[in-house]
Chains A and B, each alone.
Chain A
Amino acid sequence: MSTIDLPMPSLGTALVPTLAEGETQTAKDFSSDQEVRWCPGCGDYAVLKAVQSFLPDLGLRRENIVFVSGIGCSSRFPYYLDTYGMHSIHGRAPSIATGIATAREDLSVWVVTGDGDALSIGGNHLIHALRRNVNMTILLFNNRIYGLTKGQYSPTSEVGKVTKSTPVGSVDHPFNPVSLALGAEASFVARTIDSDRKHLTAVLAAAAAHRGTSFVEIYQNCPIFNDGAFDAIKDRDNSHALIPLTHGQPITFGVQDEATGLGDKALVRGAGGGVEVVDTASAAADAIIVHDAQNPDPSTAFAISRLTDAGYLNRSPIGIFRQVDRPTYDDQARAQVAVASEAVASKGTAEERLTALINGGDTWTID
């Protein structure tokens, strides 16, 4: 039995029913009647607003959208969206979403999770969802702290972080979520920032369009327990803080040269097999790396991800690191069922086939 005979859809939302001609939706249609209860100033508000205004753009039927979350501040997200949703248990949202996405091709499935939820207690489910490439989008809100449990360090907190559980500083080495996702062979990996609505929305659109597991890390400020964690990279005066990645463009950043459009810093191949930041002026034009998110080999994307500071964040690449086509788990699992069902289509009703099944093997009859 072959599973590749069936044509596989290529768009993330390809099989999800869309609005009828003339029907429209607005952000308001996606807002539930529940009072939003994050702390004032929390970065989650901005992401919620962005998602609520972005969802109508997809043109999908609201009842065919499902948000699944785990536990943590960000995991309250589904309650505030008027779609189907499940606020599940700590770390397990990717597994629940895997079941939903595999069961139903006609649903647009989203996971909302945090750095503790996805990378600590749920690390196993995250890497396996990425490896399987189930058709869903995972939004990882990274605030580099445990918020809901009131301020312990998280698996993305920097070494030395002083928190309630690490009074003399954390000695835990942090994860770089993008490196982790690339290592887990994710087919779509991106990073964006809560405060940059435009960039966030563009990344969400690309993530939704991607068929497979789209992994999006969103830097999210927690003003209560980790305020200012992203101040340096959000500082508009610091033009070297962000390294924007655009597919097909040379990777440069910093002060823009009016004539060439290039930034004053550029990425070139490094001596050790990684990538290096150099002055654009000193780099040969063809030495500057042209970003190729579709490169089947993730090595360069991984090398770029390593430019993220592991300690306090002064510099970070953002954008889509990787976007490659790979068959999804759910499409193939459904195809196997479809192929098998097709093969027996002429062999009677399910009841008749069940009768044949249970009467299989060596049987004998007693009158």
Chain B
Amino acid sequence: MERVGPNVSQTKQVKQLDRVIIRFAGDSGDGMQLTGDRFTQESAVFGNDLVTLPNFPAEIRAPQGTIPGVSSFQIHFADHDILTAGDRPDVLVAMNPAALKANLGDLPRGATIIVDTHDFTKRNLDKAGYSSNPLDKLGEVDDILAGFQVQPVDLTGITVEAVKEFGLSRKDAARAKNMFALGLLSWMYGRPTEPTITFLERKFAKVADILGANIAAFKAGWNYGETTETFVVQYEIKPAKMPSGTYRNITGNLALSYGLVAAGVRSNLPVFLGSYPITPASDILHELSKHKAFGVTTLQAEDEIAGIGAAIGASFAGQLAITTTSGPGIALKSEAIGLAVMTELPLVVVNVQRGGPSTGLPTKTEQADLLQAMYGRNGEAPVPIVAPQSPGDCFAAAVEAARIAITYRTPVFLLSDGYLANGSEPWAIPSVEDLPVIDANFATEPNKTVTNAKGEQDTEFWPYLRDEATYARPWAVPGTPGLEHRIGGLEKGEGHGNISYDPANHDKMVRIRQEKIQRIADSLPPLEVDDPSGQAKVLVIGWGSTYGPIGAACRRVRRAGYDVAQVHLRHLNPFPKDLGEILKSYDKVLVPEMNLGQLSKMLRAEYLVDAQGYNHVYGLPLKAAELAEAIGALVGETEGREVNLGEHGLNLPADHEEAPNA
């Protein structure tokens, strides 16, 4: 196979594709996240629909060249609307042996592999656990890469050569190899280059030689594709037809942060975040700390408990209070969440879920904290739960969590996850005027007429006298004359709110707190049931980030000619009022989750339906093709017939039907 060919211009072919999945993989120091991010921006600007899936090690700098040190970024982009980052990449860019080894198992046969041959040294092969160089065996009997389209390129070598004029050290020069790879892939898929050049100019504005080298490497990569004969096909993926509007690509953590800022603006309340750094939630703290001009105060507390403690204090003082963390942090905050339940103070508790239990898998995704959110406190301590379904949806979900918290005077869980946090998608930017207005409705005067000791009529402030419709208690903030009152963790007497140890009062208050949360359902819109034929007997129901894979799986099943219905829950406590009826109108209910069956347990308990689980806890999003097979099997069982999804399930060539070189 030709390596660095002479720069003879070839007649290049252009092939049309409707979608492609590319995975960039390298050492965590190789800049793969940046490369993926730039390719994403280019694709977004080009107008494809896209979904991304970054995957990085828990260690900041895991040992170089090893499998644990591999960092990758997957992007799925298409000319139509898509829902997932894709199950299996059509193209793998592997910057070293470890990256090849770690990702090879995910590739369908026929996939393209572009490898940087430079790092395939004895030492690196050893570190990756290869006893011999697989690139030396291409075409031989023991070729482990047989069946793939392998493109070995000395990315590092060519990059160093291309940036020679900038006089960088060899190490610094080699660092630009990710831009070479980006340039090459950008050529292959006809991506616009200006966004990346502009980005580099901004990023390296102060270091001319590094800027020059990065741009040179990027252009060299593009030219390498254009001029050498190594790559003969260029692919075209037309822009997707998307609803009209202004779009940007956005990650879940950024959308969630913007949603919290927006909630502050729409409630006209200063925002207060009390937080302690934790993966994968820290970016929300970083982002919110930039928005002081919106009246946002961020306090990096001494620990998780102090983070929520300060937020509860700010809430008592009349601000929109937020605390952000991941599962282990929620465990520490539990007692304080109970205090917010008891004191009935507005508070948004963000849990960007990660693999558990304990420290678990800090950088991987999971949705196993649902029951923790639901029940993880002492006593009867109901807390509403809101879950976003995609990265962009984190914005609206954050506004909704704040709406519930403020309107009902309660802590609210916002359950994001690692996949939503770091994954991205094009987001139709909403108009600010269309966002709900949230009314803090502070108490301003006494609310109770009493007869005093002298038998005269008098007015008092009763902090636990409720709104008849919502059961919300008044929010009276310090500084309001005449409304001085004390609240705390001890049981409250109904209405007046003084300490009460009365058994009947306790029973009543437990029920009132529960009823208040239940009444949130009065404010929820009916569920959207996606049942295009109206004939489905099987309902697939999920929550959170599984929306994409479940939707994609249902599409596969329908394309294969079968009926299936889908419902996705944004509100997990309370459930929407029509959920019970919907569940009962289907013969079978399947609940795919990245846990061992937490929503299915809740549905079974609440509605006595035979909800069946589909459960994976790999720390990765569900795979649409596998899930489609499971749905298909249930459809077959329910309808009493053979179901064969053919190429829409796991059967070849489904997974790479659009593979560039197939």
Q: Do residues A87 and B44 form an inter-chain contact, with CB atoms below 8 A? A: no
B602-616 vs A: 1/0 string, CB under 8 Å?
Answer: 000000000000000
Find A95's partner among B313, B318, B489 (CB 8 Å cutoff).
B313
Q: Which residue of A lies closest to B241 (CB)?
A: A366
Distance, CA A189 to CA B299, complexed state (A)? 24
Distance, CA A339 to CA B488, complexed state (A)? 35
Q: Do residues B429 and A102 form an inter-chain contact, with CB atoms below 8 A? A: no
Residues facing B in A94-133 (CB within 8 A) are 95-104, 106-107, 124-125, 128
Distance, CA A68 to CA B489, complexed state (A)? 12
Distance, CA A64 to CA B242, complexed state (A)? 54
A325-361 vs B: 1/0 string, CB under 8 Å?
Answer: 0000000011011011101100000110111011111
Q: Do residues B297 and A124 form an inter-chain contact, with CB atoms below 8 A? A: no
User: Please, which residues of chain B bring their CB within 8 A of the CB of A87?
Assistant: 486-490
Q: Does A34 contact B (CB under 8 A)?
A: yes
Distance, CA A103 to CA B477, complexed state (A)? 11
Q: Does B478 contact A (CB under 8 A)?
A: yes
Q: With both chains docked as a complex, state the minimum distance between the C-beta of A60 and any C-beta of chain B, in angstroms.
A: 11
Q: Which residue of A lies closest to B195 (CB)?
A: A362
User: Please, which residues of chain B bring their CB within 8 A of the CB of A360?
Assistant: 248
Q: Do residues A102 and B272 form an inter-chain contact, with CB atoms below 8 A? A: yes
Q: Do residues A79 and B499 form an inter-chain contact, with CB atoms below 8 A? A: yes
User: Please, which residues of chain A bring their CB within 8 A of the CB of B318?
Assistant: 103-104
Distance, CA A366 to CA B242, complexed state (A)? 7
User: Please, which residues of chain A bring their CB within 8 A of the CB of B338?
Assistant: 89
Distance, CA A43 to CA B499, complexed state (A)? 22
Distance, CA A365 to CA B395, complexed state (A)? 19
Q: Do residues B339 and A361 form an inter-chain contact, with CB atoms below 8 A? A: no
Distance, CA A89 to CA B262, complexed state (A)? 31
User: Please, which residues of chain B bring their CB within 8 A of the CB of A144?
Assistant: none
User: Please, which residues of chain A bring their CB within 8 A of the CB of B302?
Assistant: 95, 124-125, 128
Q: Which residue of B lies closest to A37 (CB)?
A: B499
Chain A interface: which of B124-132, B135-143, B288-296, B638-646? B288-296
Distance, CA A26 to CA B45, complexed state (A)? 69
Q: Does A61 contact B (CB under 8 A)?
A: yes
Chain A interface: which of B18-26, B60-68, B183-191, B303-311? B303-311
Q: Do residues A100 and B306 form an inter-chain contact, with CB atoms below 8 A? A: no
User: Please, which residues of chain B bring their CB within 8 A of the CB of A99?
Assistant: 272, 274, 299, 309-317, 321
Q: Does A84 contact B (CB under 8 A)?
A: yes
Q: With both chains docked as a complex, state the minimum distance between the C-beta of B84 and any C-beta of chain A, in angstroms.
A: 21
Number of interface residues of A (CB under 8 A): 64
Given known A-B contacts A92-B336, A102-B310, A362-B41, A61 and B481 have beta carbons under 8 A apart: yes
Q: Do residues A353 and B293 form an inter-chain contact, with CB atoms below 8 A? A: yes
Q: How many A-B residue pairs have CB under 8 A?
A: 213
Q: Do residues B301 and A95 form an inter-chain contact, with CB atoms below 8 A? A: yes
Given known A-B contacts A87-B486, A88-B489, A354-B294, A367 and B244 have beta carbons under 8 A apart: yes
Distance, CA A333 to CA B298, complexed state (A)? 8
Find B486's partner among A32, A102, A104, A125 (CB 8 Å cutoff).
A32
Q: Does A83 contact B (CB under 8 A)?
A: yes
Q: Does A85 contact B (CB under 8 A)?
A: yes
User: Please, which residues of chain A bring their CB within 8 A of the CB of B485?
Assistant: 84-85
User: Please, which residues of chain B bring their CB within 8 A of the CB of A359?
Assistant: 246, 248, 429
User: Please, which residues of chain B bring their CB within 8 A of the CB of A84?
Assistant: 316, 478, 484-486
Q: With both chains docked as a complex, state the minimum distance between the C-beta of A112 and any C-beta of chain B, in angstroms.
A: 12
Q: Do residues A107 and B317 form an inter-chain contact, with CB atoms below 8 A? A: yes
Find A63's partner among B336, B339, B479 (CB 8 Å cutoff).
B479
Q: With both chains docked as a complex, state the minimum distance between the C-beta of B428 and any C-beta of chain A, in angstroms.
A: 9
Q: Do residues A124 and B429 form an inter-chain contact, with CB atoms below 8 A? A: no
Q: Does B482 contact A (CB under 8 A)?
A: yes
Distance, CA A101 to CA B303, complexed state (A)? 18
Find A366's partner among B245, B294, B299 (CB 8 Å cutoff).
B245
B322-338 vs A: 1/0 string, CB under 8 Å?
Answer: 00000000000001101
Q: Does more than half of chain B's interface fall in helix, strand or loop, or is it mixed?
A: mixed
Find A103's partner among B47, B272, B343, B430 (CB 8 Å cutoff).
B272
Q: With both chains docked as a complex, state the minimum distance between the C-beta of B399 and any C-beta of chain A, in angstroms.
A: 11
Q: Do residues B45 and A78 form an inter-chain contact, with CB atoms below 8 A? A: no
Distance, CA A365 to CA B335, complexed state (A)? 47
Q: Do residues A100 and B313 form an inter-chain contact, with CB atoms below 8 A? A: yes
Q: Which residue of A lies closest to B395 (CB)?
A: A358
Given known A-B contacts A99-B312, A366-B245, A86 and B479 have beta carbons under 8 A apart: no
Q: With both chains docked as a complex, state the minimum distance between the C-beta of B277 and any C-beta of chain A, in angstroms.
A: 15
Q: Which residue of A lies closest to B335 (CB)?
A: A89
User: Please, which residues of chain A bring their CB within 8 A of the CB of B248?
Assistant: 358-364
Q: With both chains docked as a complex, state the minimum distance between the C-beta of A87 and any C-beta of chain B, in angstroms.
A: 3
Q: Do residues A358 and B262 form an inter-chain contact, with CB atoms below 8 A? A: yes
Distance, CA A333 to CA B488, complexed state (A)? 27
Q: Do residues A337 and B292 form an inter-chain contact, with CB atoms below 8 A? A: yes
Q: Does B231 contact A (CB under 8 A)?
A: no
Distance, CA A101 to CA B299, complexed state (A)? 12
Distance, CA A364 to CA B261, complexed state (A)? 23
Residues facing A in B426-443 (CB within 8 A) are 429-433
B32-70 vs A: 1/0 string, CB under 8 Å?
Answer: 000000000100110100000000000000000000000
Q: Which residue of A lies closest to B306 (CB)?
A: A95
Q: Do residues B336 and A89 form an inter-chain contact, with CB atoms below 8 A? A: yes
Q: With both chains docked as a complex, state the minimum distance between the C-beta of A23 and any C-beta of chain B, in angstroms.
A: 11
Find A83's partner among B295, B309, B484, B487 (CB 8 Å cutoff).
B484
Q: With both chains docked as a complex, state the minimum distance between the C-beta of A304 and any C-beta of chain B, in angstroms.
A: 28
User: Please, which residues of chain A bring their CB within 8 A of the CB of B296?
Assistant: 337
Distance, CA A124 to CA B306, complexed state (A)? 9
Q: Does B459 contact A (CB under 8 A)?
A: no
User: Please, which residues of chain A bring their CB within 8 A of the CB of B598?
Assistant: none
Q: With both chains docked as a complex, state the minimum distance between the C-beta of B319 and any C-beta of chain A, in angstroms.
A: 5
Q: Does A62 contact B (CB under 8 A)?
A: yes
Distance, CA A83 to CA B295, complexed state (A)? 27
Residues facing A in B481-516 (CB within 8 A) are 481-490, 498-499
User: Please, which residues of chain A bring their CB within 8 A of the CB of B478?
Assistant: 63-66, 84, 100, 104, 107
Q: Do residues A82 and B432 form an inter-chain contact, with CB atoms below 8 A? A: no
Q: Do residues A89 and B293 form an inter-chain contact, with CB atoms below 8 A? A: no
Q: With both chains docked as a complex, state the minimum distance between the C-beta of B630 and any C-beta of chain A, in angstroms.
A: 35
Q: With both chains docked as a complex, state the minimum distance between the C-beta of B385 and any C-beta of chain A, in angstroms.
A: 22
Q: Does B249 contact A (CB under 8 A)?
A: yes
Find A351's partner among B292, B432, B482 (CB 8 Å cutoff).
B432
Distance, CA A365 to CA B242, complexed state (A)? 10
Given known A-B contacts A89-B339, A367-B244, A125 and B306 have beta carbons under 8 A apart: yes
Q: Does B480 contact A (CB under 8 A)?
A: yes
User: Please, which residues of chain A bring their CB within 8 A of the CB of B265?
Assistant: 350-351, 354
Q: Do residues A364 and B317 form an inter-chain contact, with CB atoms below 8 A? A: no
User: Please, which residues of chain B bring their CB within 8 A of the CB of A362?
Assistant: 41, 44-45, 195, 248-249
Distance, CA A78 to CA B487, complexed state (A)? 9
Q: With both chains docked as a complex, state the minimum distance between the C-beta of B429 and any C-beta of chain A, in angstroms.
A: 5
User: Please, which residues of chain B bring their CB within 8 A of the CB of A357?
Assistant: 258, 261, 291, 294
Q: Do residues A350 and B294 form an inter-chain contact, with CB atoms below 8 A? A: yes
B256-278 vs A: 1/0 string, CB under 8 Å?
Answer: 00100110010000101010000
What are the 7 A-B residue pairs with the smallest beta carbon separation, nearest first?
A99-B313, A87-B488, A95-B309, A99-B310, A340-B292, A95-B306, A128-B302
Interface of B with A (CB < 8 Å)? 41, 44-45, 47, 195, 242-250, 258, 261-262, 265, 270, 272, 274, 291-297, 299, 301-303, 305-307, 309-319, 321, 335-336, 338-339, 343, 395, 429-433, 478-490, 498-499
Interface of A with B (CB < 8 Å)? 17, 32, 34, 61-66, 68, 71, 78-79, 81-90, 92, 95-104, 106-107, 124-125, 128, 333-334, 336-337, 339-341, 343-344, 350-351, 353-355, 357-367
26 A-B interface contacts by CB (under 8 A): A32-B486, A64-B479, A66-B316, A78-B486, A85-B486, A86-B316, A86-B343, A88-B339, A92-B309, A96-B312, A97-B313, A99-B316, A103-B272, A103-B313, A103-B314, A104-B317, A107-B317, A125-B302, A337-B295, A341-B295, A343-B293, A353-B293, A357-B258, A359-B246, A361-B248, A366-B245
**Beyond known contacts A103-B313, A364-B47: 6 more, CB 8 A cutoff:** A66-B317, A78-B488, A87-B490, A351-B433, A364-B248, A365-B247
